[in-house]
Amino acid sequence: MHIFAIANQKGGVGKTTTSVNLAAALAQAGQRTLLIDLDPQGNATMGSGIDKRTLPRSVYHVLLGLATLDEVCTVSPSGHYAVMPANRDLAGAEVELVDLEQRELRLKKALAEHVGNTDFVLIDCPPSLSMLTLNGLCAAHGVIIPMQCEYYALEGLSDLVNTIKQVHKNFNRDLKIIGLLRVMFDPRSTLSNQVSAQLEQHFGDKVFKTLVPRNVRLAEAPSYGVPGILFDKNAKGAQAYLAFAHEMIERAKTWETERRAT
Ligand code: ATP
Ligand code: MG
């Protein structure tokens, strides 16, 4: 089982779009996939075709120990992957977790109790370096960082990289940066290309080969509760996320070998 957090404390950089489309593309490629919505906004839940307003239980209950992950999980009717959904209840968890022991390890514990076979777990983190994101980072083997190739992107990146280093040092020795995914990419923009080249220079093969272009079909899909790769599978954005899933599956084979060796 590979567990990845999709994180970037910057808002609106494509975390949820990446989580939902990668989950759907992995599922389509025959991988058993679980998407965990760790954001009180519940966008990954809605984008998977699940109504966040009518949830009997959500990830909130799992983090507080009121339900198990398997009790709360449901299936995306449009994307055919499992979903641990979220809604506004989760905003309260931040405060309620403060009094609990090992509050940063609640999600990790819940995943350890997860029965059933899952190949990929994707955790859609909120736009902050909060206790929720910390739970995501503590539970994961690696982080996928979606980012836009714009001027301020690199600045925010160092905060995130430092947080990942801290979590690695203090809580989770498994954690590593799996890769940076360039999203909403505009190949005609000089700045996009410059920032993209800088990223490759600094992060080398940590930059995914797949580039996700800015594509309006990806932005339209959530309002239908359908992942973009299924909403219009021929659109450029959908094609990119399908390619990204295959890049992930290929890389997963290497991690598998690495982990067996250690
Ligand atoms: P938040 O920080 O609020 O959780 P996020 O990082 O999860 O945001 P998304 O919600 O995935 O970001 O994307 C932000 C907006 O950009 C959404 O309206 C989404 O539909 C749109 N968007 C994301 N990726 C693309 C793309 N490749 N092309 C066009 N629009 C996109
Ligand atoms: Mg989001």
Structure tokens at 23: 């989950």
> Contact, 12 vs 68, CB < 8 A?
no
What spacing in Å lies between the alpha carbon of 65 and ligand 1's midpoint? 31
Parts of the chain with a pLDDT under 50: none
Write down the number of H helices and E strands in the chain. 12, 8
pLDDT tens track for 4-63: 999 999 999 999 999 999 999 999 999 999 999 999 999 999 999 999 999 999 999 999
Residue 127: what pLDDT?
96
Q: How far is CA 259 from the centre of its chain?
A: 21
Structure tokens at 237: 């954005």
What spacing in Å lies between the alpha carbon of 241 and ligand 2's midpoint? 16
CATH number at residue 19: 3.40.50.300
Number of domains in the chain: 1
> Contact, 85 vs 58, CB < 8 A?
yes
Q: What b/e string do you get for 192-219 counting C-beta neighbours within 10 Å, with b at 16 or more? A: beebbeebeeeeeeebbebbbbbbebbe
Instruction: Return the residue whose CA atom lies nearest to atom 30 of ligand 1.
Output: 219
Ligand 1, residue 18: give the atom nearest the CA: 11
What spacing in Å lies between the alpha carbon of 258 and ligand 1's midpoint? 33
Q: 0.75 exceeded by the pTM?
A: yes
What spacing in Å lies between the alpha carbon of 211 and ligand 2's midpoint? 19
Instruction: Return the residue whose CA atom lies nearest to atom 15 of ligand 1.
Output: 12
For 27, 128, 218, the CA distances from 232, given in Å and listed in that order, are: 16, 31, 8
| Ligand 1 mutation pick, 16, 125, 147, max ligand atoms within 8 A of CB | 16
DSSP 168-196: HHHT-TT-EEEEEEEEEE-TT-HHHHHHH
Give the torsion sign (CA, 225, 231, 20, 157): negative
What spacing in Å lies between the alpha carbon of 262 and ligand 2's midpoint? 34
**Measured between alpha carbons, how far is 90 from 37 in angstroms, rounded to an integer?**
10
Domain that holds residue 108: 2-261
Which residues lie with the beta carbon below 6 Å from any ligand 1 atom?
Answer: 11-17, 39, 41, 43, 127, 183-184, 212, 214-215, 218-219, 222, 237
Residue 262: what pLDDT?
67
Nearest ligand by distance to the CA of 9: 1
Sheet-wide strand order for 74-75: 74-75, 82-84, 33-37, 120-124, 2-6, 142-148, 176-185, 207-213
